[in-house]
Amino acid sequence: MDKQLLEKYFKGHCTTQEAAQAEAWLSGEDTTLLDEFMMEKWAEANEPVVMKPKVHRLWYGAAAAAIIGAIAVVVFFWQHQQPQQPLALKWDTLTNTTNNIQLFTMTDGSEVWLNTHSSVIYHQQYNHQQRELWLQGEAYFQVVKDEQCPFSVHTGSLTTTVLGTAFNISTSNKADGSIQVSLIEGKVAVSKEHAFNKILLPGQMLQYSNGQAPELTAFAPHEILDWKKGKIFFDNTMLADALAKLQQRYGYNIILEDTHLRKKKISGEFNRDMSLEKILSTLEYVHNITFKRVDDSTYQACKK
């Protein structure tokens, strides 16, 4: 099976033989390639603005609608060609387009605390043989234990699998686009097919960027979970990463092109109800930086 054939199948362009091949594969248990295919379609719905260095753009409400539209195409053709496979028929989306944290309780009782400008998609058959979520942005999970039905979160090419625990995942807090999985309690396994499978213990964080070896480090809970307490916390943080976090929290683009400025270290604590303009103004005053307003949704950072 390959992605080209999946593309043809979901668009209804397969021959009878190709359709039979695709349906036989889709009825199997290995969904890794399907996961990658779905995430690519998700990403194509809202390609990021190019920045130097790379600081990822956020997902907005409009982007969430585009995501749903992309998935709907897959769902439509699946419904018409594979009605006997209910697991892949319908998807639900949890989207936080507000400036406040939102708490969602899944049907199994597990809690998903969704940070601003973040989204989760899942099968409507969640908690029927599987508990799988696909995350873009940042979320904190409090998972109800069920040894017969593991809980998995897909982020890019990574899969985090647990039975019952509490952990935080972010896909947008680093300028290089790396994913951070931080374990608060219990135990989780973070894996990438054919590459690695790491077991985390409480207080450990796995950070992974495509093409690089995963890093296991300790983390400060007050920094990782600042968003749950209505704070934005920087502790000797690279400016590029700080701006990536501000993008995630406020839904703006912040362009940073100066390679020397991006490595500048900053520290500070801000209340989440402060405006982005006020935070940037504080950074300007303390760190000799200028933020120019480019348009309604974009700022550019440069030296004074």
In the chain, where the domains are located: 230-303
The stretch 5-28 carries a mean pLDDT of: 68
Residues facing residue 221 across a β-bridge? none
In percent, the amount of the chain with pLDDT more than 70 equals 75
Q: Are 9 and 22 in contact (CB under 8 A)?
A: yes
Q: How confident is the model at residue 62 (pLDDT cuts 50, 70, 90)?
A: very low
The 10s digit of each residue's pLDDT in 230-252 is: 999 999 999 999 999 999 999 89
Q: Are 113 and 140 in contact (CB under 8 A)?
A: yes
The 10s digit of each residue's pLDDT in 19-60 is: 667 766 765 656 567 666 666 655 554 444 333 333 333 333
In percent, the amount of the chain with pLDDT more than 90 equals 49
> Is the entire prediction scored with pTM above 0.75?
no
Decide if pLDDT at 83 tops 60.
no
Give the length of the chain: 304
On whether the 230-303 domain is CATH 3.55.50.30, my answer is: yes
Q: Are 171 and 189 in contact (CB under 8 A)?
A: no
Decide if pLDDT at 79 tops 50.
no
User: What is the average pLDDT value for the chain, to the nearest integer?
Assistant: 80
The stretch 170-193 carries a mean pLDDT of: 93
- 291 closest CA partner among 232, 233, 248, 246: 246
